Amino acid sequence: MRTATRVLKYELHNVLRSKAVLVYTVLLFLLTDVLFRFGGDGARVVISLLNVVLLLVPLVSVVFGTMYVYAAREFTELLLAQPVSRGSLFAGLYLGLALPLAGAFLAGVGLPFAIHARPDAALWGPLAMLLTAGLLLTLVFTAVAMLLATRFDDRAKGLGGAILIWVACAVLYDGLILLLITMLRNYPLERPVLALTLLNPIDLGRVLLLLQFDTAALMGYTGAVFEKFFGTSTGRMAVLGVLLVQATVPLLLASRVFRRKDF
Amino acid sequence: MTTARLASRLVGGLLLAAPALAAQSSVVVDPAGPVRTVSEALGRVTPGGRITIRAGVYTEPVIRVAIPVTIIGDSGAVFTGGDHEIFLVTADNVTLRGLTLRGGEHSFMEDRAAVRFDSVANCVIEDSRLEGTFFGIYLARSRGCRVSRNVVRGSAAVEMTSGNAIHLFHSSDITIDGNRVAGHRDGIYLEFAERARVFDNESTDNLRYGLHFMFSHECEYGNNRFERNGAGVAVMYTRHVYMHGNTFGDNWGPSAYGLLLKEIRDSRIIGNIFRQNTVGIYLEGSARNEVLGNTFEGNGWAVRVLANAEGNTFAGNTFRRNAFDVATNSRSNVSTFRENYWDRYEGYDLDRDGYGDVPYHPVRLFSLLVAQNEPALILLRSFFVDMLDAAERVMPVLTPQLLQDERPLMREPA
């Protein structure tokens, strides 16, 4: 554990010095700030940020994460030559990646809200959900990055895989769902579609946020099925749980590969 | 004791001692007084007289008001119902004021109302409170009446065993204003009611419709609030309706509409606010209606126009934060949209005349997809769907091209 903290400390230094995380923070901050200056009230800004959280956060997490692990390759090899357990080294690497990114997201989006938003009870729910979704997506996609970068020694393959996974989750997956719905329109599809949604972290994040804003639309017949599942607090907890599982599984896989890897 | 007081005591004593004297123009009903029931008071009062009801709880058989009279309740004058109606008014020029009417068992055989006006003219019921009644105020075959500032609170649980708060049947020239009704089947129900004027009412939390009317021509509705009703407001089989300044809000559900228009003709819907409804306005088989200067905000579907609605005009409306602006079920649509403000409009205004230079197509591809396959709704706000919409906007294939706003407003109308 101690070694893990030490590795983490070093990695934090390293990541923060690389300025990429700083740029990410400033970018998010400026974006949110500008939305406030042009758009006005907090609720609208949250809606506008929806696509940022659902697209930009996973993209940055998975691409930056993969690059980061590749860049840390020599350092990793060096440390492995020392009496350091692979487990704590892996934990240090992951946290050193995920924590700064998560912090950058929270600071970049949260600060403008602290500055501009008028305290309004109706805003807290959506804002909290936005931040939670962004946080969990960061955890999921950095875990995926860890898996890719440890699994493939070839950087091109790893980065290609990262972008592919992002495109699949952000765009293709929804296309497939739509195709499925259109092809099987004669069948009651609410539940299968619900199950499919649970498999894609970006869709999960989207639905969580959706229920904060577009409840009126979702209250139609089909929407009622979705609302019944996602809208209740147990449903919401379940979704957060699934997102955590989606972060844990690739992480465990990556850790397994990392332990057995012949560097 | 002064002489005057002594005299008044004596007179009072005389009156007490001789209750069966000739009809009086003013009678007081008091649980502890000489006249203890309204039915009895009605036997003593002269036509056009006045009955005052002191505080107390009155349980009587049906009170039949068959002469013109004014009945005024002190605060705390409570009438309880049971398996019968409380007031049955069959004379013209009757006024009921300040009464509290409580309870009434539901019936499957009759529309049992707390107060029923049957075939009368110029009746008034005002400042009264109805609690837990089956039907509240019922006007049948009446004209020129006024229902004002009443509070009608029901505790309806299912449609089968609940009645309407204010019910008009075959009546004309009725004014309904300043009432607050809640918890019934329909808040205000007008059937064959012509030239009704419905103003400043609040109809909320009813099981079915906040306001429901059928075959009620030439009516006017203004400044009412209809909120959280099971299915919103329904206007059916009617012509020449004028609705203005009303608020339709928070009507949620699979078949909930802010305003449902079915077979409505030549009507005007002006300056209303539709907020947070599953569907703001739903038009079916309606023709030549004008929808002007309304605000649609945060609805699931702001406007749903079926292809069998013809010649309707939507102008000067504001569409803001709706999941879908307009939905329809066909590529050929004959309603006109012009000079509305759409918050999704992405066009430009080079000549700076305040109107966008490229038309706006309010029907998104995705809204068609959802209309055909409801589960697709789960993809709302998905990046993929946004891309599809953008592609469709550039090269329209599936969405109705005629349904467009040629001159969308660049700014919200003031």
**B279-295 residue pLDDT tens:** 999 999 899 999 999 99
Q: What is the pLDDT of residues A33-68, one digit of tens each?
A: 998 888 667 777 888 888 888 999 999 999 999 998
The C-alpha atoms of residue A108 and residue A104 are separated, in whole angstroms, by 6
Find where tokens 């009464």 sit: B99
Query: In this predicted structure, what is the pLDDT of residue B402?
Result: 79
pLDDT tens string for chain A (263 positions)?
677 788 888 877 877 777 888 899 999 999 999 988 886 677 778 888 888 889 999 999 999 999 989 988 888 888 888 888 888 889 888 988 999 999 999 999 999 888 887 777 778 888 888 999 999 999 999 999 999 999 999 999 999 999 999 999 999 999 999 999 989 988 888 888 888 988 999 999 988 888 777 766 676 666 677 777 777 788 888 888 999 999 999 999 999 999 888 77
- The band of B51, judged by pLDDT with boundaries at 50, 70 and 90, is very high
Query: In this predicted structure, what is the pLDDT of residue B332?
Result: 75
* Contact status, residue B214 vs residue B236, Cβ threshold 8 Å: yes
* Bridge partners, B233 (sequence order): B211, B259
Find where tokens 């204010």 sit: B166
- Checking if the pLDDT of B386 tops 50, the result is yes
Q: Which helix (H) or strand (E) holds B154?
A: none
User: Which residues on B lie below 8 Å from A207 (Cβ)?
Assistant: 378
User: Which residues on B lie below 8 Å from A223 (Cβ)?
Assistant: 254, 300, 377
- Please enumerate in sequence order all residues whose Cβ is within 8 A of that of B130, keeping only pairs 6 or more positions apart, or say none: B100, B101, B102, B114, B115, B136, B137, B150, B151, B152, B153, B165
Q: Which of B252, B368, B382 is most worth mutating to test chain A (most A CB atoms within 10 A of its CB)?
A: B382
Query: What sign does the dihedral B24-B30-B35-B38 (CA atoms) show?
Result: positive
- The band of B17, judged by pLDDT with boundaries at 50, 70 and 90, is very low
| A178 to B252: CB separation less than 8 angstroms, yes or no | no
- Checking if the pLDDT of B398 tops 60, the result is yes
Interface check B299 vs A, CB under 8 A: yes
- The band of B16, judged by pLDDT with boundaries at 50, 70 and 90, is very low
Query: In this predicted structure, what is the pLDDT of residue A255?
Result: 93
| A216 to B323: CB separation less than 8 angstroms, yes or no | yes
Interface check B300 vs A, CB under 8 A: yes
Mean pLDDT of B239-263: 91
Q: Which helix (H) or strand (E) holds A90?
A: helix A86-116
User: Which residues on A lie below 8 Å from B382 (Cβ)?
Assistant: 174, 203, 206
Nearest to B198 by CA among B215, B216, B183: B216
Interface check B278 vs A, CB under 8 A: yes
Nearest to B188 by CA among B160, B157, B225, B158: B225
The C-alpha atoms of residue A218 and residue A224 are separated, in whole angstroms, by 7
Q: What is the pLDDT of residues B333-345, one digit of tens each?
A: 778 999 999 998 8
Reported residue count of chain B is 414
The C-alpha atoms of residue B282 and residue B304 are separated, in whole angstroms, by 5
Query: In this predicted structure, what is the pLDDT of residue B259?
Result: 94
User: Which residues on A lie below 8 Å from B254 (Cβ)?
Assistant: 219-221, 223-224
And the tokens for B397? Answer: 């294939």
* Contact status, residue B277 vs residue B253, Cβ threshold 8 Å: no
Position A84, amino acid:
V
User: Which residues on A lie below 8 Å from B385 (Cβ)?
Assistant: 174, 178
* Contact status, residue A109 vs residue A134, Cβ threshold 8 Å: yes
The C-alpha atoms of residue A128 and residue A126 are separated, in whole angstroms, by 6
Label the pairing between strands B295-297 and B318-320: parallel
The residue segments making up the domain with residue A210 are: 2-260
| A217 to B299: CB separation less than 8 angstroms, yes or no | yes
- The band of B18, judged by pLDDT with boundaries at 50, 70 and 90, is very low
The C-alpha atoms of residue B30 and residue B57 are separated, in whole angstroms, by 10
- The band of B59, judged by pLDDT with boundaries at 50, 70 and 90, is very high
User: Which residues on A lie below 8 Å from B278 (Cβ)?
Assistant: 216-217, 219-220
In B141-201, DSSP assigns E strands to 146-148, 151-153, 166-169, 175-177, 180-182, 188-191, 197-199
Number of compact structural domains in chain A? 1
C-alpha distances in Å from residue B42, one per residue of B13, B88, B263: 22, 12, 46
Query: What sign does the dihedral B149-B150-B151-B157 (CA atoms) show?
Result: negative
- Checking if the pLDDT of B19 tops 60, the result is no
Q: Which three-class secondary structure string do you get for B292-349?
A: ECCEEECCCEEEEECCCCEEEEEECCEEECCCEEEEECCCCCEEEEECCEECCCCCCC
Residue of A nearest to B299 (CA): A216
Which B residues, 246 through 265, put their C-beta within 8 Å of a C-beta on chain A?
252-254, 256
Angle at A42 between CA A37 and CA A44, to 5 degrees: 85
> Is residue B215 helix, strand or coil?
coil
Give me the half-sphere count of Cα atoms (radius 13 Å) on the Cβ side of residue A199.
12
CB count in 10 Å sphere of residue B21: 10
- Checking if the pLDDT of B15 tops 60, the result is no
Provide φ and ψ at B35, rounded to 5°. -105, 115
Residue of A nearest to B368 (CA): A182
In terms of C-beta density within 10 A (0-12 exposed, 13-18 middle, 19 or more buried), how is residue A241 classed?
Answer: exposed
Position A47, amino acid:
I
Q: At what angle do helices A155-167 and A57-71 cross, to 10 degrees?
A: 170
In terms of C-beta density within 10 A (0-12 exposed, 13-18 middle, 19 or more buried), how is residue B8 classed?
Answer: exposed
Query: What sign does the dihedral A30-A31-A34-A35 (CA atoms) show?
Result: negative
Query: In this predicted structure, what is the pLDDT of residue B403?
Result: 86
The C-alpha atoms of residue A211 and residue A57 are separated, in whole angstroms, by 20
ipTM of the complex as predicted: 0.84
Query: In this predicted structure, what is the pLDDT of residue B99?
Result: 94
Which residues of chain A are at the B interface, by a Cβ-Cβ cutoff of 8 Å? Answer: 44, 47, 50-51, 54-55, 170-175, 177-178, 181-182, 185, 189-190, 193-194, 197, 203, 206-207, 209-210, 214-224, 226
- The band of B182, judged by pLDDT with boundaries at 50, 70 and 90, is very high
Query: In this predicted structure, what is the pLDDT of residue B350?
Result: 92
How near does any CA of chain B get to the CA of A193, in Å? 7
Provide φ and ψ at A94, rounded to 5°. -65, -50
Residue of A nearest to B274 (CA): A216
And the tokens for A244? Answer: 């955590």
| A54 to B383: CB separation less than 8 angstroms, yes or no | yes
Q: What is the dihedral of CA A53, A59, A63, A69, to 10 degrees?
A: 30
Q: For the residues of A165-199, what is the DSSP string, one character each?
A: HHHIIIIIHHHHHHHHHHHTTTS--HHHHHHHHHH
The C-alpha atoms of residue B32 and residue B43 are separated, in whole angstroms, by 18
| B323 to A206: CB separation less than 8 angstroms, yes or no | no
| Chain region(s) in chain B for CATH 2.160.20.10 | 28-227
The C-alpha atoms of residue B305 and residue B283 are separated, in whole angstroms, by 5
User: Which residues on B lie below 8 Å from A185 (Cβ)?
Assistant: 372-373
Q: At what angle do helices B383-394 and A173-183 cross, to 10 degrees?
A: 70
The C-alpha atoms of residue A42 and residue A128 are separated, in whole angstroms, by 12
Find where tokens 């105020």 sit: B137
Interface check B298 vs A, CB under 8 A: yes
* Bridge partners, B297 (sequence order): B275, B320
Average confidence score pLDDT of chain B: 89
The C-alpha atoms of residue B378 and residue A225 are separated, in whole angstroms, by 10
- The band of B226, judged by pLDDT with boundaries at 50, 70 and 90, is very high
Superfamily of structural domain B28-227: Single-stranded right-handed beta-helix, Pectin lyase-like (2.160.20.10)
Q: What is the pLDDT of residues B65-114, one digit of tens each?
A: 999 999 999 999 999 988 889 999 999 999 999 999 998 788 777 788 99
Mean pLDDT of B258-267: 93
Q: Which helix (H) or strand (E) holds B239?
A: strand B232-239
- The band of B315, judged by pLDDT with boundaries at 50, 70 and 90, is very high
Considering A66-80, A211-225, B41-55, B372-386, the range whose residues carry the highest mean pLDDT is: B41-55
Query: In this predicted structure, what is the pLDDT of residue B335?
Result: 87
Interface check B323 vs A, CB under 8 A: yes
